[in-house]
Structure 1
Amino acid sequence: MSTPINSTYSQFNYFAFYREHLTKQAMAGEPEAGGSTGASQTDTAPSEETTESDTKNQPRTDFIDFVQAFRNWAVLAEVLSGTDQDSMEFKTEVDGGEGDDEIDAEGVNVSTYGGDGNDTINARGYRVTVNGGEGDDTIAASSAWSGHGPVFSSMISGDGGNDDITTSGLAGLVNGGEGNDTITGKDGMMSVFGGSGDDTITAERGAHQIFGGAGNDTIVSRGNLLWGTAYGGAGDDIVSISGRAVKAYGGTGNDKMTFDKAESMIGYQMTPDGMVPSVEHRSVASGGLGDDEMVFNESVADIEYFAGDGDDTITGADERSVLKLGPGLSFEDTSFAVNGNDLTVSFGGEDGGSVTFKDYQTQGVPRIEFNDGRVLDASSTIAYAGGDPDAYVANDTVNNPATDDVA
């Protein structure tokens, strides 16, 4: 029995029709379809006689090669049979091959490969796998069932070229690959790797893990991320992030980092008396190696600084925030100075380095915690910078818990 597939169908309806045709075949117990290829306006999908035992637990494969107005299509649809007709899984595979392709695919399990050329790919499904191949590709991957939570096990790769990738409602992995890529992750839970090149990565809502990779990358979070993390990687990166319990690491290079309304999150635990607060999850900022700039707008964070991190500048971090110093940065080797409206904390030792608080009198100064447990509050830091060697008194927070002595 042959079923014509009319080329006048839209891309979306073509795939919907094709999927519906296979579904009816499988549920009706019709024989396995064979294959045909063609470049005419109407193709047919013939079938051949088989028994139920021939097709049970075997992939059903149909090949359709559809060419219209220089649009190359190659569709491999598999029906994976279970133990009975109620447990069917459909897999749609699309290979564009060479050339500039336009691919629109939808299904339960969708896999598309653009191949060489500047391809436009739109894939929707429960599990989505896309590889753009070589060339400057435009890829949109999303859940076919919005409102039902994120779709898991999705993998999107731009591969070579300057790619434009957008994901929505998915959970899984995005890799821009080589080239200067533009990647936008909307609501979902994605791990995004920019790869090599100067990439622009934007996260909108959800819980995204972003890795800029090598190159001068721009990483932006629009909306309220939850547990989001951004790693600039190697290069002079620009990172702008907002949300609750977010983390940003500049990596190697002279990075510019901005935190907008980065808030803490309070964790709760169940007790006999009900839900009670248990732990505060704070946002974290670390410039990494290089001379970094950090700006905090209505934000509270733990700011990490390690020996060798360079000469960093910080604006807007008041005493609700904490500057956490790593091993090798001792209180005894630390000096304080005021230069105009700025306050600089300099670290001695082999690696040196400094942290400067811009316009500290209006923008504030965070608490400083040394690795050995000593703590300087904002007033003591300011007094030290003013040249007072006795800047703290017995009830200040500068102490050494190893000896329980107040400094």
Structure 2
Amino acid sequence: MLDSGVVFCYTDLYMRWAFLLGIWILAEVGGYYGLRRLGLWRPWMGWITPAVLGLLIVSFLAGRWITLPLPTYKKLQLLGGGLFLLWLALILGKLVGGLWGLLTTLGQKPPTADFSEGRRATLQLLGGALMSLPGVALGYGYWRGRYRFRVETIEVFLKDLPPAWEGTTILHFSDLHSGSFLSPDALRPVWAEIKALRPDLIAFTGDWVNTFAGELEPFVADLAELEAPLGKWAVWGNHDYGDYIMGATRERKAKERAHLRHLVAAAGFHLLDNEAVLLERDGERIALVGVGNWSHWRRFQRYGDLKAAWAQVPPDTCAILLSHDPTHWEHEVQGNYPIALTLSGHTHGLQVGVEWLGWRFSPAQWLFTYWAGLYRIGEQYLYVNRGLGYIGLPARLGIWPEITLIRLRRHLDSV
């Protein structure tokens, strides 16, 4: 049934807000005492954060409960995202500055009594710099990071890849979240790059929109211009079912899905909804399988039916799976179905993290075992795309938006 999972999604939303509110309380308490000891606390610091949060809540409720024209709704989303970014920068600034104040004055009386003028000035200068760091970093993520598109290029060696498919390229992208962009101009450099790469096949792994099918309309013409001789293929993501429209009836959700299906077709993409197709090169075939959203976390939907899709795959056929959520590979695919390569998205790498000289960190790893990049267990591969768009936080920092060029190679044992 296509109405399952909605309650779980909003429960997750409330849990995340509860976590953020806990961080906020910690930041307010730590910030007040730590910054006060440094002499940096000002009265406006006490009311600015709840004031921004109040405006954020108003914008959130307005977007959920007031019927607005789609362009107005998108602008309201952008406003809400900006307020959330500002609120996050404020609480993180207080938290970092407060911790600095508490640590540097540990065991001391108030600084006016124990610190020399020079030491107090130095500590205040460093404290102010630390307080500003979250705002500067998130500001960069907003103004530049969310548009810092990059191309990831990888090779995957598949044991049962037919000889005719050696060197075949797949352009994989995911999580467009078209509703987060006010204009299609922002993504035109991406489409130009895809055209220049001239892939053999294009695969999109879900989340065309944030909430409403109409969000995709301004992007259809550009998507339709993308070409690949083996076709353009796609699956649904958790945002593509109309489930996040507050108070929507079953009929309204069905109408949204039908509209989105029409737009995806107009863009030239073939939607694989719990089904498989056989693709042929020089008389040799592989199976491309696509399923609806399936998450191990019950707060997200389980519309995918891999059993039904796999029944359409001939025995001993090299298979590639498109499945939006990487927990599907972890908990149902891996070890149970002989699928050589699975392409996923969904995590966004939480849009914030560090990837430097082989070392990686993101809060995403606290939530997902497989959160970005290429993974291998035995002869099965998973690639988790970091996403092209963004949602919630209108910024990316360290986890940049990507498109991925995957080159299929025959496993050495197959040669």
If the TM-score is normalised by the length of the shorter chain, which range does it land in? Answer: under 0.3
Structure with more contact order per residue of length (Cα contacts < 8 Å, sep ≥ 6): 2
Which is richer in helix?
2
Which is richer in strand?
1
What is the TM-score when the length of structure 1 is the normalising length? 0.24
Choose 1 or 2 for highest CA Rg.
Answer: 1
